[in-house]
Amino acid sequence: MPEQEKGTDSAGAESRGAESVSTDEPAGAGPFGRHSTAGLENVALLAVGLADVVLERLRHAAEQGQQLLRRSDLRELLADGVNDLRARGELASRRATPDTENYLEVMASRAVKRAGEAEVSGPAAHA
């Protein structure tokens, strides 16, 4: 048995010596690692990490959606959102068609009209 161990040791030493001397990368080395399988592992890990980030964001969005649905003032919140979207649409349409009236002038005339209506209906409502 000791002879076999010596043979194995000398063969093992020769093979270990060859590995330690060789510092070149193997022929199949890819840009992500020493071996093409290491590159595939890195790509797989990147894909799994990306999927984890996406799922975490989806969970967070779902939690926020549930919190929003639990609000007692949901109708008012939706109405405000619709009004804001309508106002944004009005602004965007004014920008797209510059030959129409100036938006600020239109809004100012609307405010003056509402103020005049409030003055007319105000004293009559209190009388």
Query: Looking at residue 35, what is its pLDDT?
Result: 64
Cα 84 to Cα 65, 76, 77, 90, 99: the distances in Å are 20, 12, 11, 10, 24
Q: Check if the beta carbon of residue 38 is closer than 8 Å to that of residue 32.
A: yes
Q: Can you give the pTM of this predicted structure?
A: 0.35
Query: Looking at residue 46, what is its pLDDT?
Result: 94
Q: pLDDT category, 14, cuts 50, 70, 90?
A: very low
